[in-house]
Structure 1
Amino acid sequence: MYRDRIDAARRLAEAMAHLRGAHPLVLAIPRGGVPMGRIIADALEGELDVVLVRKIGAPGNPEFAIGAVSEDGSVHLEEEAALCRDDWLAREVARQRELIDERRRRYTPVRSPIDPTGRVVVVVDDGSATGATMAAALATLRQRDPARLIAAIGVAPPDTLARLGALADEVICPEAPHHFRAVGQFFATFDQVEDDEVVRLLGGAT
């Protein structure tokens, strides 16, 4: 459905052209959301930062999210998490929190995260299967009192979008296929985004 993340970002930016002039704060979910966030922020004349949330993957199937951890330390669990051992889950949550702290130090070492309070905030990701990571990001940001909270996703199944609609003021997703296995199946090119690229994009280079 998309050539690559650039293609997806341009389509999302077109769908959000009405935000130009509102100086939106575009918060990308690393790492795949960051190249898209850079394009969207530039197109909408906004600012770019990251919102740090980490998916908790199911044992034996790490791509399937059973929850997520947010930068503020909060944990959001799906129903499937009840099937996991408590000790395993506690270790996984601790590991993801350490990774979040490490990423913040690496990504924005000389400044604090940009405050979303009172801003039009756009949360960007390349795609979402269960919605767990995006839901955690939205729930965390809602507590910071943004003026408007928008979820912008390249691709997600309809049931995920319906769930996210209860957490965001607006959900924008150009592609919502019913048959959904993984985000990468909807991109002709879906290369891994490296940390060095994230740091470069957050620095404003394109």
Structure 2
Amino acid sequence: MALFADRRAAGRELAAALQEWRGTDAVVLGIARGGVVVAAAVADALGLELDAVVVRKLGAAGHEEFAVGAIADGVRIVTPDALRWAGMSSKDLERVEAVERDELARRMEAYGSRGREVTGRTALVVDDGVATGASAVAACRAVRAREPERVVLAVPVAPERFAPPPDAVDDFVCPHRESDFWAVGEYYDDFRQTSDAEVMALLGGAPTGSATENGR
């Protein structure tokens, strides 16, 4: 049996570790898509506003779930060690990034910022877990550019060795720091892919145009 039944259960457990922000002026920003489900449970439990931050992983060729970097609005992260491990050339990376930038733009148009003001507030950036950390750090840096008072990265599970860079994150909250970590999905009984429609529903909107059940 895994640590969490599903993302909602993980969000409820994560909320218990974030009690100091209950009823404050903090805003919860879920990393779309799966992180929005976790974030919605956190926001509901703590009585906070919910929004999304859009990030795209730059996946290794042939091993797309392994991130060699990530992009967000105004942010690009590439991990040289991961790039070397994946055996990817600069041309390979350019091809992957071109595809992901198109998808980033689509998702930002569909359900990016929902207009929640973060300037001068605590931003709780939530995902369903951290593996390499590239996506989470990209999200936090994108949020940091919006001038919040503090950026708190909060995830249910992460590798024991993971530590977010201080230029991106002021606080890191993670109830489960695992020494033998392989993939986020192994800690969930139900880790099915989150759809655009589910994200839009959680954010209080309806999917329109290209914001449909896109499988990517």
Q: Same fold (TM over 0.5)?
A: yes
C-alpha deviation, 1:112, in angstroms: 5.2
Provide runs of 4+ in structure 1 moved above 6 Å: none
* Structure 2: distance between partners of 1:81 and 1:144: 29
Is residue 67 of structure 1 aligned with residue 69 of structure 2?
A: yes
C-alpha deviation, 1:126, in angstroms: 0.4
Name whichever of 140-149 and 128-137 sits farther off: 140-149
What SS does the corresponding residue of 1:57 show, helix, strand or coil? strand
2:96 alignment counterpart: 92
What SS does the corresponding residue of 1:159 show, helix, strand or coil? coil
1:12-161 to 2 correspondence within 5 Å? Answer: 12-72=14-74, 74-79=75-80, 80-81=82-83, 83-107=87-111, 113-160=115-162
What SS does the corresponding residue of 2:70 show, helix, strand or coil? strand
Verify the 8 A CA contact 1:24 1:44 in the aligned structure 2. Answer: no
C-alpha deviation, 1:23, in angstroms: 2.4
Q: CA RMSD in A?
A: 1.9
Cα deviation, 1:137-159, whole Å, max 9, x if unaligned, reads 11222222211110011111012
Cα deviation, 1:47-101, whole Å, max 9, x if unaligned, reads 11111111001111111111001122x2111122254221221222121111111
C-alpha deviation, 1:168, in angstroms: 1.3
Judged with a 3 Å threshold, the aligned counterparts in structure 2 of structure 1 residues 104 and 143 are, in CA distance, closer, same or farther, namely closer
2:13 alignment counterpart: 11
Name whichever of 49-58 and 84-93 sits farther off: 84-93
* Structure 1: distance between partners of 2:83 and 2:67: 9
One-letter amino acid of the structure 2 residue matched with residue 102 of structure 1: R
* Structure 1: distance between partners of 2:14 and 2:165: 17
C-alpha deviation, 1:167, in angstroms: 3.0
What SS does the corresponding residue of 2:191 show, helix, strand or coil? coil
* Structure 2: distance between partners of 1:115 and 1:136: 19
Larger helix share, 1 or 2: 1
- Unpaired runs of at least 5, structure 1: none
- Unpaired runs of at least 5, structure 2: 207-216
Judged with a 3 Å threshold, the aligned counterparts in structure 2 of structure 1 residues 94 and 52 are, in CA distance, closer, same or farther, namely same
* TM-score when normalising by structure 1: 0.90
What SS does the corresponding residue of 1:51 show, helix, strand or coil? strand
* Structure 1: distance between partners of 2:129 and 2:115: 23
Verify the 8 A CA contact 1:24 1:45 in the aligned structure 2. Answer: no
Cα deviation, 1:103-146, whole Å, max 9, x if unaligned, reads 122225xx754332111100010011110100111122222221
2:190 alignment counterpart: 189
2:214 alignment counterpart: none
One-letter amino acid of the structure 2 residue matched with residue 38 of structure 1: A
Judged with a 3 Å threshold, the aligned counterparts in structure 2 of structure 1 residues 164 and 127 are, in CA distance, closer, same or farther, namely farther
One-letter amino acid of the structure 1 residue matched with residue 142 of structure 2: T
C-alpha deviation, 1:196, in angstroms: 0.6
